């Protein structure tokens, strides 16, 4: 009788006695199984122990072995900005804090350090694959690859100047260069990231999609994060966000769309038809008050729906265990249905389906022969995991989602390489990262403390403030009736060059320290002959800084800072935090007149709020020469009298200070 000889295959690692969750399509579980790993690949999974002769055998008794978690949307370098500004509205948070600080600090070394810090945290909490979007994305790719993690790294393109590009063309060229050099890397998939519909033009979306198609790489973007974004899209383009980006041919490329909080069923279908993946970011959406994505609907319609933490500046961590739990709980809470998004499905979103959403489902996301060895070993013997029941094989999913913590992760392997063993990081030095991060925080603090001291600095930080220094002659007077002024304007010594009629809404912000000046948000609504609104214009002015000089009742010199008001008064209120504010509304008629060889503006204002019952006359002229101003100062007093205001009606104070 011939003896049965079983040949053993050589491999690098053999993980034995493990509770293996393969997370494959059939959700195969091996209550006591093994995994053979050779090189970067998984060779076999199941009762295969005896078939392999491994270089190293790892006994996983009492432990779960499962695929590494997939963080489908983050901004790794922003980990250096964790806790910088919280409990703010999205626009104030982004435009008021993140973007100004990024403009000042984000350089390749900042990006590299932030990414290393993020990678250390991700490895500790069991993540082996992440989708990133940031500036200097090459530094993200380098740091992630050195840390040994798998990542889709997308270079940001937007319509404003950014820390790494002065224009969108620059950013696009940077993306092209990055993609060309990193395509084919064993851990990194380079990609392009048109940031969001509210920060990109149609042309940017089109160019990014073309670039992605040319190199066959994915596009990573933010879509429909807030209801405001959707309203804006409807107003400007007459359609919600998803059809609009579709019109720009975005879906010619393979898309990973973060958020999709405010999408309707038709839009979800469009995303599915396009083969796009969605990254659900429950913590970030809750923290920024954006809402809750319709995940139950998305899953029902069969979209590849992954889970992401978003950047740590809006989360504030990269813990996928927490994110999966929240996703499952939130779906139940919102739908009122405890059977919605069961633990097994939630865990699939954080592994296999997340990898599909990132367009790398063929190589990672589940433990199957041929796939890369991206896996984690979880200690399920910790007190908070005890006891365990064997009756229902699915109970292991519930245990991992509802009871386990990221700190239960003991070992992490990515691409066949150990990144953490017995809770010790192999590829990164935690203490070094901690010290370097504290140093960056000190520098950012100094920058913000300096900025917060000055209203002007804060105005400059949000962009576009230009100083205007001028000599201005200006007189204000109370007048009893409008008719007298109008009649005087028809007199032959005064020539009316042009006139306009509008409604002016001013919001003044005052600060305890008068040396800060006062900030005025002005909105003009021009009225046509029939008193219909013909044009709306808004701007922001900071006045009252120290170099402003009055000469009797004539204001002679002033310096002011002007900025286009691109945000709402609400934004400025939350950003500048004034101690006091006042709203002034007036009906203004404005004439440009010629008088004794000089030109002046004549304003006739009727105060609507506060209603003082009277009219105010304001005559002014601005010039850039002191000499000219002095000449006009003599004429202006005469002009004011000719317009019917007596000397005793002249007021020194501004409307704003009226009681
Ligand atoms: Zn994001």
Q: How far apart are the first and last CA of the chain?
A: 113
pLDDT per residue over 175-186, tens digit each?
999 999 999 999
- Predicted pLDDT of residue 529: 78
Closest by CA to 125, choosing from 313, 352, 321, is 321
Distance from Cα 342 to the centre of ligand 1, integer Å: 26
- Distance from Cα 196 to the centre of ligand 1, integer Å: 9
Q: How far is the CA of 311 from the centre of ligand 1 (A)?
A: 6
Taking the centre of ligand 1 as the mean of its atom positions, its distance from the CA of residue 32, in whole angstroms, is 39
Ligand 1 centroid to Cα of residue 546, in Å, is 42
Distance of CA 651 from the midpoint of ligand 1 (Å): 53
Distance 492 CA to ligand 1 centre (A): 65
Ranges 110-114, 325-329, 531-535: which has the least confidence = 531-535
Least confident of 233-247, 316-330, 640-654: 640-654
3-state secondary structure of 1: coil
Q: What's the CA-to-centroid distance between 398 and ligand 1, angstroms?
A: 28
pLDDT digits (tens, 9 = 90+) for 10-59: 999 999 999 999 999 999 999 999 999 999 999 999 999 999 999 999 99
Tokens 């066949």 label which residue?
Answer: 416
The lowest-confidence range among 404-413, 420-429, 640-649 is 640-649
| Residue 353 alpha carbon to ligand 1 centre in Å | 19
* 182-188 contact pairs (CB < 8 A, 24+): 182/138, 182/141, 182/153, 183/215, 183/217, 185/141, 185/145, 186/40, 186/415, 187/144, 187/145, 187/148, 187/149, 187/150, 187/151, 187/414, 187/415, 188/141, 188/144, 188/145, 188/150, 188/151, 188/152, 188/153
Per-residue pLDDT band for 658 (boundaries 50, 70, 90) equals: very low
Q: What is the DSSP letter of 6?
A: P
Residue 74 C-alpha to ligand 1 middle, in angstroms? 6
* 406 alpha carbon – ligand 1 mean position (Å): 22
The pLDDT of residue 538 is above 60: yes
The pLDDT assigned to 62 comes to 92
Taking only the tens place, the pLDDT of each residue in 124-170 is 999 999 999 999 999 999 999 999 999 999 999 999 888 999 999 99
Mean pLDDT on 192-208 = 96
Name the percent of the chain lying above pLDDT 90: 66
For 352-381, what is the mean pLDDT?
98
pLDDT value of position 352: 98
Of these ranges, 340-344, 387-391, 599-603, 619-623, the one predicted with the greatest mean pLDDT is: 340-344
Q: What is the pLDDT of residue 103?
A: 87
- Give 608 Cα–ligand 1 centroid separation in angstroms: 44
What confidence tier does 554 reach under pLDDT thresholds 50, 70, 90?
A: low
Q: How many whole angstroms from 12 Cα to the centroid of ligand 1?
A: 38
Judge whether residue 259 has pLDDT over 80. yes
pLDDT exceeding 70 applies to what percent of the chain?
95
What's the CA-to-centroid distance between 577 and ligand 1, angstroms?
27
What average pLDDT does range 492-504 have in this prediction?
A: 91
Q: What is the distance in A from the centroid of ligand 1 to the CA of 71?
A: 12
The Å distance, Cα 181 to ligand 1 centre, comes to: 25
Q: Please say if the pLDDT value at position 4 is more than 60.
A: no
pLDDT score for 1: 44
pLDDT > 50? residue 3: no
Cα 141 to ligand 1 centroid, rounded to whole Å: 17
Does residue 456 or residue 253 have the better pLDDT?
253
Give me 249's structure tokens. Answer: 């041919």
Mean pLDDT of 78-104: 87
CA of 258 to the centre of ligand 1 (A): 7
Tell me the CA–centroid distance for residue 308 and ligand 1, in Å.
9
Which of the listed ranges 63-77, 97-111, 531-545 does the model predict with the highest average pLDDT?
63-77
Q: So what's the pLDDT on residue 27?
A: 97
Q: How far is the CA of 222 from the centre of ligand 1 (A)?
A: 6
**Cα 365 to ligand 1 centre (Å):** 21
CB atoms within 10 A of CB 470: 13
Cα 377 to averaged position of ligand 1 atoms, centre (Å):
29
> Ligand 1 centre and the CA of 73: distance in Å?
6
For residues 347 and 397, the answer to whether their CB atoms sit within 8 Å is: yes
127 alpha carbon – ligand 1 mean position (Å) = 17
* pLDDT for residue 556 is more than 70: no
Distance set, CA 207 to CA 104, 158, 182, 250 (Å): 28, 11, 20, 9
- State in Å: Cα 290 to ligand 1 middle: 12
Tell me how far the alpha carbon of residue 125 lies from the centroid of ligand 1, in angstroms. 20
Burial 322-345 (b: 16+ CB within 10 A, else e): bbbbbbbbbbeebbeeeebbbbbb
Distance from Cα 572 to the centre of ligand 1, integer Å: 23
**Residue 433 reports pLDDT greater than 90:** yes
Is the pLDDT at 567 greater than 70, yes or no?
A: yes
CA distance 315 to 361: 26
CA of 354 to the centre of ligand 1 (A): 16
Q: 193: CA distance to ligand 1 center in Å? A: 11
| Per-residue confidence band for 644, with pLDDT thresholds at 50, 70 and 90 | confident
pLDDT digits (tens, 9 = 90+) for 589-606: 999 999 998 899 999 999
Mean pLDDT, the chain, whole residue set? 91
| pLDDT over 90 (residue 390) | no
Give me ligand 1 centre to Cα 568, in Å: 23
What pLDDT sits at residue 453? 80
């Amino acid at each position: 009788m011939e003896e049965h000889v079983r040949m053993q295959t050589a491999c690098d690692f053999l993980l034995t006695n493990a509770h293996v969750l393969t997370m494959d399509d059939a959700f195969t579980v091996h209550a006591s199984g093994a995994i053979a790993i050779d090189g970067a690949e998984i060779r076999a999974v199941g009762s295969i122990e005896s078939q392999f002769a491994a270089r190293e055998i790892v006994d996983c008794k009492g432990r779960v072995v499962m695929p590494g978690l997939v963080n489908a949307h983050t901004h790794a370098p922003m980990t250096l900005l964790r806790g910088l500004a919280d409990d703010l509205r999205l626009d104030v948070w982004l435009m008021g804090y993140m973007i100004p600080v990024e403009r000042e600090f984000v350089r390749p070394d900042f990006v590299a350090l932030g990414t290393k810090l993020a990678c250390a945290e991700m490895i500790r909490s069991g993540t082996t694959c992440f989708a990133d979007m940031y500036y200097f994305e090459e530094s993200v790719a380098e740091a992630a690859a050195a840390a040994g993690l798998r990542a889709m790294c997308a270079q940001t393109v937007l319509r404003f100047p950014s820390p790494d590009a002065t224009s969108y063309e620059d950013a696009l060229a940077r993306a092209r260069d990055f993609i060309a050099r990193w395509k084919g890397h064993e851990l990194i998939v380079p990609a392009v990231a048109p940031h969001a519909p509210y920060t990109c033009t149609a042309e940017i979306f089109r160019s990014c999609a073309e670039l992605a198609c040319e190199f066959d790489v994915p596009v990573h973007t933010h879509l429909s994060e807030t209801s405001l974004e959707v309203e804006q899209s409807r107003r400007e383009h007459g359609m919600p966000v998803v059809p609009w980006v579709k019109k720009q041919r975005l879906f010619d490329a393979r898309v990973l769309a973060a958020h999709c909080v405010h999408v309707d069923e038709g839009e979800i279908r469009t995303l599915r038809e396009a083969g796009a993946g969605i990254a659900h970011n429950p913590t970030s959406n809750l923290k920024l008050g954006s809402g809750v994505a319709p995940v139950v609907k998305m899953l029902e319609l069969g979209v590849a729906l992954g889970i992401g933490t978003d950047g740590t500046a809006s989360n504030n961590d990269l813990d996928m265990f927490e994110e999966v739990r929240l996703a499952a709980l939130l779906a139940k809470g919102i739908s009122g249905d405890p059977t919605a998004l069961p633990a097994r499905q939630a865990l699939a979103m954080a592994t296999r389906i997340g990898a599909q959403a990132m367009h790398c489902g063929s190589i990672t996301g589940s433990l199957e022969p041929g796939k890369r060895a991206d896996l984690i070993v979880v200690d399920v013997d910790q007190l908070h995991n005890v006891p365990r029941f064997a009756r229902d094989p699915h109970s292991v999913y519930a245990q991992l989602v509802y009871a386990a913590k990221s700190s239960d992760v003991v070992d992490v392997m990515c691409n066949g390489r150990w990144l953490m063993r017995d809770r010790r990081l192999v590829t990164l030095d935690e203490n070094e990262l901690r010290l370097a991060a504290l140093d960056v925080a000190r520098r950012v603090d100094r920058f913000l403390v300096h900025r917060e001291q000055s209203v002007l600095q804060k105005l400059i930080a949000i962009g576009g403030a230009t100083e205007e220094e001028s000599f201005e002659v200006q007189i204000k007077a109370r007048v009893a009736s409008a008719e007298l002024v109008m009649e005087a304007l028809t007199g032959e010594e005064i020539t009316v060059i042009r006139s306009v009629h509008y409604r002016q809404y001013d919001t003044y912000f005052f600060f305890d320290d008068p040396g800060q000046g006062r900030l005025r948000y002005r909105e003009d609504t021009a009225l046509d002959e029939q008193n219909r609104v013909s044009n709306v214009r808004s701007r922001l002015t900071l006045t009252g800084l120290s170099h402003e000089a009055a000469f009797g009742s004539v204001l002679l010199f002033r310096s002011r800072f002007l900025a286009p008001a691109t945000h709402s008064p609400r934004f400025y209120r939350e950003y500048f935090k004034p101690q006091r504010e006042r709203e002034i509304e007036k009906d203004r008629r404005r004439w440009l007149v010629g008088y004794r060889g000089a030109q002046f503006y004549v304003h006739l204002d009727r105060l609507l709020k506060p209603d003082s019952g009277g009219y105010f006359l304001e005559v002014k002229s601005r010039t850039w020469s002191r000499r000219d101003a002095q000449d006009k100062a003599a004429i202006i007093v005469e002009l004011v009298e000719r317009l019917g205001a007596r000397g005793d009606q002249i007021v020194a104070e501004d409307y704003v200070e009226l009681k």
